[in-house]
Amino acid sequence: MSIYGDYIKSVIRTVPDWPEPGVNFRDITPLLQNSAAFRKLIDSFVHRYQEMNLDAIASIDARGFIIGAPLAYELGCSFVPVRKKGKLPFQTISETYTLEYGHSEVELHSDAFQKDDRILLMDDLIATGGTMLAAANLIQRSGGHVVETATIIDLPELGGSQKIRDAGFGVFAVCS
C-alpha cells in the first residue's frame, strides 16, 4: 500500500449491486474528477518506480490506460497497450483467460517489446486476477520481463492478487 492509500481509497466510490445484484462496484471516476487526488495517485506510482530502470509501461484496456500513460510520460518510458481482442491492427499474440461465465482474450502487438525489456504492467483493479495474469503471461511470452504488476485497487478477498503472486509476479496496490 502507498503512503496515500487511505486517502485514495476515500475518493473511490462503491456502487452497490452494479452491474448486477450482489456486486459492490469500485468506481474510480470520483478519483479522476479530483485533480489533487489523481496527482497523488500518479505520484505514488512515480515514487515507487522512478528508480527501477523501466523500459516500458504496459497497461490494460481500457481503465488501465488512464494510469499507464501519465506514468510512462513522467518516467520517460514507452507506453504499450494490452488490448481486448480485435482492436490492434498489426500482427498480434494473444492469451485467453477464463471469466466467471465464458472466456476473454487480450492481445499485444508482436513488436511491442525488445527482448528482456523491463516492463511494468498496470491495471486499475485486481478482482479475480484473470486479466492481469493473462497480460503478464503475454508479455513474458513476447520476450519482455515483467518487473512487477501494479494497480490502484486490489480486492484481496477475491484471491486475484494471490493468484498473480503464486504465478511468480509481484503485485503493488495503492489500496485494498
Site residues (vs ligand PRP, CB under 6 A): 60-63, 123-131, 160
149 has which bridge partners? Answer: 121, 171
Among ligand PRP, ligand HPA, none, the one that 60 touches (CB under a kind-dependent 5 to 8 A) is ligand PRP
Q: How far is the CB of 10 from ligand HPA (least distance, A)?
A: 16
Query: Look-up: residue for cell 465464458?
Result: 102
Identity of the residue, 26 or 83, whose beta carbon is nearer to ligand HPA in the bound complex:
26
The C-alpha atoms of residue 13 and residue 116 are separated, in whole angstroms, by: 38
Identity of the residue, 76 or 102, whose beta carbon is nearer to ligand HPA in the bound complex:
102
139 binds ligand HPA (CB under 6 A): no
Longest dimension (CA), the chain: 45
When binding is defined by CB under 6 A, the residue of 72, 80, 88, 127 that contacts ligand HPA is 127
125 binds ligand HPA (CB under 6 A): yes
Among ligand PRP, ligand HPA, none, the one that 25 touches (CB under a kind-dependent 5 to 8 A) is ligand HPA
Distances from the Cα of 62 to the Cα of 2, 69, 118, 122, 124, angstroms: 23, 11, 22, 11, 9
134 binds ligand HPA (CB under 6 A): no
Chain residues 13-32 in contact with ligand HPA, contact rule CB under 6 A: 25-26
Q: Cβ(120)–Cβ(148) under 8 Å?
A: yes
The C-alpha atoms of residue 80 and residue 3 are separated, in whole angstroms, by: 27
Nearest CA-CA partner of 65 in 92, 91, 90, 28: 28
Identity of the residue, 12 or 112, whose beta carbon is nearer to ligand HPA in the bound complex:
12
Residue type, 146: V
Binding site for ligand HPA (CB under 6 A): 25-26, 125, 127
